[in-house]
Structure 1
Amino acid sequence: MTESTPSTAQDPAVEPVPDKARTGLILATACVAQVMVVLDVSVVNVALPSIASDLGFAASGLSWVVNAYTLVFGGLLLLGGRFADFVGHRRAMFLGLAVFGITSVIGGLAQTPGQLVAARAGQGLAGALLAPLSLAIIMVTFRDGPSRSRAVGVWAMVAAAGSALGVLLGGLLTQWLSWRWVLFVNVPIVLVGLVLAWLSVRDTHMTRIRALDLPGAFLVTVAVTALVNGLIRAGEHGWGTTGALLSFAVAAVTGALFALWELRSATQPLVRFGVFRARAVWVANLVVLFIGAATVAGFYFASLFLQNVLHYSPLRAGAAFLPFCAGTIAGSMLSGRLTARFGTRVVLSTGLSLGAAGMLLFGRMDSDSTFTNGFLLPSLVASTGVGLCMVANTSLATAQAAPHEAGLISGLINAARQIGGSLGLAILTTVAAAGTAPVSPAAHLRHLADGYGRAFYVTAAFCAVAAVIAGTCAPGIRRTPRSGEEAPAEALGTSTG
């Protein structure tokens, strides 16, 4: 059965390509949508202590301000990609932006922890539609190899830079206004996105599908939610507790049922497992799983270290991330050139190795560290590595994706990153909280620093594992072939060596 259904007699393969001005607006729309999505993962990190103080969050529950977003986001991304293909890109973009704006206002007005967590989950729902859609409209609009590579590179660079800049923006807003503005700031971004989408985004019939795999979406969401809930319960109450074990069991059962449903019963599956025969696809998704775990958790614990151990104000903590922003942008800008010269395998493994080195240096910080002797060098090393690997990995995943699977491929790559972030944060919260907190203030600071250091060491291990996977398994693509050229076998992922 075919995946796509043209709504007109016109052959979708020969639909007119948008003019240059509109393609520029489409790329701008995609970047605005994506930067808002990634911004809301990191922008709240610096505001977490203020949120906890204002709304009365318990220490063990504060991570849900981040987890509620990333968990719903990761669980529904696959459905979000296919939903956009089902209703059309234009309608999906308007819907996603509107929901994101409304839930941001609700979160900014929250008076209890429950209200804020619910609003963050609503943002995650909107993000689950916008993130795969932002990449899908690029993949459909830019069908020529080199032009698609450039557009994906810009998109990935904006996403990486937005994540880093979110920490700075969070500090500025929290210090000068209040933590509530880390949510209200989405409203003007939404308005800009709506205007750009109105001017540029059109429904592309070649990506339309006839049905949504709702059972599959339900099963995969339950599986991921149960797994993360089990990890958090294990961190709070112990790995052998009934709640943790029950959550793990639910995750295992629903995960297995999802795989069986997708393989045997779904008429138009949420995930067509055949795409993973392409080596580029499965390597890129596995690598980005570890990247998500490392970067989301890294931002989280770096923000807490600056404020809880070094006693930085929110503004000063945000400013401390400026070198990280600069390194991420520099790495992103270099990634395309280096990939063209040395190939994705070399760039990915190098970037991830730098990320691991930076996280190891973060782990060496203690309660006597300062910005210059403890925070600056690891920020520059880790961020340059993140910028290199994020752009190269996104290009690897999308280089040869067919337009009719734009939603699926973009949903997979975004889902892997967000699930990795949620799982990594749950695991590392457990690692950082291990041990009994001492009573004296000085000993308490050392205890906090030691806990955060352990978390950074595990984060370094995530990067190192991803570097090994990339170095041994990633196809050595140097560039995407121009239109009309025959694609190399490795670029298509057909090589299994």
Structure 2
Amino acid sequence: MSTVNSSRASEGAGGPRADAPRPEPDPRRWWALTLLCGLQFMILLDMTIVNVALPRIQDSLGFSESGLAWVVNGYVLMAGGLLLLGGRLADFFGRRRLLLAGVVIFAISSAVCGAAVNQSMMVAGRFGQGIAEALAAPASLGMIALLFTDPKERTKALGIWGGLVALGGTLGYVISGLLTDLASWRWIFYINLPVALVVFLLLPRLVAESKMVRQKGETLDVAGAVTSTSGLVAIVYGLLQAAENPWGSASVVVPLLVGVALLLAMLIIERRAKNPLIPLNFFANRTRSVINVASLFYMAAFISYTFMLTLYEQHVLGYSPLKSGLAWLPLGFAIGAGIGLGTALTPKLGVKLVAALGFIGAGVGLFLTSMIDTDSAYLTGLLPGMIVFGLFAGATMPAATNAALHGVTVQDSGLASGVQTTMQQVGSALGLAVLVTLALRHAGDEMMNGVAPEVAVTAGYALAFRVGAGLMLFGGVLILALFERVSTELRDPTAEMLEKAAH
């Protein structure tokens, strides 16, 4: 989104025409990219590195399992809820300034998490890390537009940037296992500090400040961002409270009602805002709306799967954090293979069919995982479902990105990409709130009937996996039923944003 706005500013300020000679590239650009990639890798790593350490964090700080969900949800709610505002802030006040602010907030929040002595301190730190990502990520991407004006170099830079997603996600589990097993879970947060310090000291030497030229009367939609994020936090809080309280209790009903009221207020604000974060007519396109709804189901199932299977491995099967981290490696490889398969098949089979089959196949993988019991073997009980789930989930990604851009102009591709990312983060938070609550309630009912705790907990996880499988299958059916005809030509939203901004 930030790069789109910068392109508008360039045009409005009498910027160079598309056929004008490109300026000489900045000789420091590759060093700057290395630094930005290091920062992005650190941020991506922190999204997954916490998962393997969750049982140790739970034991150390006394979290309940519903409360433990906030260690993940605090991060994704802030990162997703404030992402679009972060892009606008970068445009208004300067990308380098916002990125450095994000680095400082990330370092402070990481130190708070590492030094946490109670639950509130940990959750507050994770909220801070999510806010930092919402500030830093759009600003980082906007800088690439200014650093790499040659299309071939930009493609190479984007390839390096995009490769960090899979690498950070896979290595997060392993690094978390190593640090938690050999040192302490606190070091998964402390390792961020030297990286943040290097970026803070070197970035001003490598990247010049840049920001958009604002039009008269152009303002930030802060009210829309605050009401949407606050509403989501309230709803997630209410859903998690339902794990330990009756549905009709005030501790559940009040936050749910407040959350709904805030989201309704956000819709009114967005309808009336002069420069809304998300223009409501963006959702008039049926295919874009369907894939964004399906993304909620996708991430709800995905994040809940990794969250609960990690707890199952360590609490029920007795895996060490290191063994648990290594156990996730096949998932990363399967997702990578699936992305390659989806990229190859989409031009041949079409976006609609590949996306739908990916959702349905991932649902089958979750159903296989739901067959677990208290003494499941890794090779026969966990690995088959993990490989099937990862392969089909990965295959869905290229087609889903294409669908999210259906009918979008280059000028609005940043908005489309930002909305998709936001929906994924929101889906992660809601999925944890609903499915973890479901698993805990079922386990509690089983124990009241005299079932052994480990058997009851395993049954709760298995039920949640089956519900996640149902969400995936439902998403696949929605795609088959409601998608319009989508071009099979794969499009890269980031490349389109940068191509526009470079001119």
With the shorter chain as reference, the TM-score category is 0.7 to 0.9
Name 1:73's counterpart in structure 2: 79
Q: Does residue 1:250 correspond to 2:258, yes or no?
A: yes
Secondary structure (helix, strand or coil) at the match of 2:334 reads: helix
Once the two structures are TM-superposed, the CA of residue 114 in structure 1 deviates from its matched residue by 1.4
- With over 3 angstroms needed to count, the CA separation of the structure-2 counterparts of 1:142 and 1:340, relative to structure 1, is farther
Amino acid at match of 2:337: A
Q: Does residue 1:477 correspond to 2:482, yes or no?
A: no
Stretches of structure 1 that go unaligned for 5 or more consecutive residues are 483-497
> Is contact 2:342–2:395 with CA below 8 Å preserved after alignment?
yes
Stretches of structure 2 that go unaligned for 5 or more consecutive residues are 493-503
Amino acid at match of 1:64: W
Q: Counterparts of 1:208 and 1:27 in 2: how far apart (Å)?
A: 30
- 1:51-104 deviation per Cα after TM superposition (whole angstroms, max 9, x unaligned): 122222234322221122122223222322222222233322222222212211
> Is contact 1:207–1:406 with CA below 8 Å preserved after alignment?
no
Alignment of 1:3-402 (within 5 A): 4-6=8-10, 8-11=13-16, 16=22, 19=25, 32-134=38-140, 155=161, 158-190=164-196, 195=202, 199=206, 203=210, 205=212, 210-264=218-272, 266-279=273-286, 281-398=288-405
- 1:284-311 deviation per Cα after TM superposition (whole angstroms, max 9, x unaligned): 4223222221211111011011101111
Once the two structures are TM-superposed, the CA of residue 331 in structure 1 deviates from its matched residue by 1.8
Name 1:494's counterpart in structure 2: none
State TM-score, norm by structure 2.
0.84
Which of 444, 453, 463 aligns to 1:454? It is: 463
Q: Counterparts of 2:208 and 2:425 in 1: how far apart (Å)?
A: 25
State TM-score, norm by structure 1.
0.85
Q: Counterparts of 1:343 and 1:156 in 2: how far apart (Å)?
A: 23
- With over 3 angstroms needed to count, the CA separation of the structure-2 counterparts of 1:138 and 1:400, relative to structure 1, is farther
> Is contact 2:100–2:136 with CA below 8 Å preserved after alignment?
no
Once the two structures are TM-superposed, the CA of residue 173 in structure 1 deviates from its matched residue by 1.3
Q: Counterparts of 2:265 and 2:27 in 1: how far apart (Å)?
A: 46
Higher mean C-alpha displacement, 390-399 vs 339-348: 390-399
Secondary structure (helix, strand or coil) at the match of 1:46 reads: helix
Q: Counterparts of 1:217 and 1:31 in 2: how far apart (Å)?
A: 27
Q: Counterparts of 2:149 and 2:469 in 1: how far apart (Å)?
A: 37
- With over 3 angstroms needed to count, the CA separation of the structure-2 counterparts of 1:125 and 1:208, relative to structure 1, is farther
- 1:189-226 deviation per Cα after TM superposition (whole angstroms, max 9, x unaligned): 43565557863576364899932111111211121111
Once the two structures are TM-superposed, the CA of residue 11 in structure 1 deviates from its matched residue by 4.7
- 1:360-406 deviation per Cα after TM superposition (whole angstroms, max 9, x unaligned): 11111111201111111111111112222234323443587556546
Q: Counterparts of 2:339 and 2:488 in 1: how far apart (Å)?
A: 16
- With over 3 angstroms needed to count, the CA separation of the structure-2 counterparts of 1:270 and 1:182, relative to structure 1, is same
Higher mean C-alpha displacement, 203-212 vs 227-236: 203-212
Name 2:437's counterpart in structure 1: 430
> Is contact 1:13–1:206 with CA below 8 Å preserved after alignment?
no
- 1:263-302 deviation per Cα after TM superposition (whole angstroms, max 9, x unaligned): 12x1211211232234553334223222221211111011
Once the two structures are TM-superposed, the CA of residue 5 in structure 1 deviates from its matched residue by 3.7
- With over 3 angstroms needed to count, the CA separation of the structure-2 counterparts of 1:87 and 1:13, relative to structure 1, is farther
Q: Counterparts of 1:323 and 1:253 in 2: how far apart (Å)?
A: 43
Q: Counterparts of 1:92 and 1:138 in 2: how far apart (Å)?
A: 15
Matched residue pairs, number?
Answer: 480
> Is contact 2:67–2:240 with CA below 8 Å preserved after alignment?
no
Once the two structures are TM-superposed, the CA of residue 456 in structure 1 deviates from its matched residue by 0.7
- With over 3 angstroms needed to count, the CA separation of the structure-2 counterparts of 1:359 and 1:433, relative to structure 1, is same
Once the two structures are TM-superposed, the CA of residue 449 in structure 1 deviates from its matched residue by 1.0
> Is contact 1:339–1:347 with CA below 8 Å preserved after alignment?
yes
> Is contact 2:398–2:490 with CA below 8 Å preserved after alignment?
no
Q: Counterparts of 1:395 and 1:26 in 2: how far apart (Å)?
A: 29
Name 1:492's counterpart in structure 2: none
- With over 3 angstroms needed to count, the CA separation of the structure-2 counterparts of 1:170 and 1:232, relative to structure 1, is same
Amino acid at match of 2:15: Q
Amino acid at match of 1:455: A
Q: Counterparts of 2:408 and 2:146 in 1: how far apart (Å)?
A: 10
Amino acid at match of 1:255: L
- 1:15-69 deviation per Cα after TM superposition (whole angstroms, max 9, x unaligned): 8478498776777666545443343232111111111222222343222211221
Q: Counterparts of 1:338 and 1:155 in 2: how far apart (Å)?
A: 23
Amino acid at match of 1:462: L
- With over 3 angstroms needed to count, the CA separation of the structure-2 counterparts of 1:344 and 1:192, relative to structure 1, is farther
> Is contact 2:29–2:206 with CA below 8 Å preserved after alignment?
no
> Is contact 1:292–1:418 with CA below 8 Å preserved after alignment?
yes
- With over 3 angstroms needed to count, the CA separation of the structure-2 counterparts of 1:146 and 1:347, relative to structure 1, is farther
Q: Counterparts of 2:289 and 2:151 in 1: how far apart (Å)?
A: 20
Amino acid at match of 2:240: I
- 1:413-453 deviation per Cα after TM superposition (whole angstroms, max 9, x unaligned): 22111110000000011111123364999922211111110
Amino acid at match of 2:280: F
Q: Counterparts of 2:286 and 2:149 in 1: how far apart (Å)?
A: 21
Once the two structures are TM-superposed, the CA of residue 132 in structure 1 deviates from its matched residue by 4.0
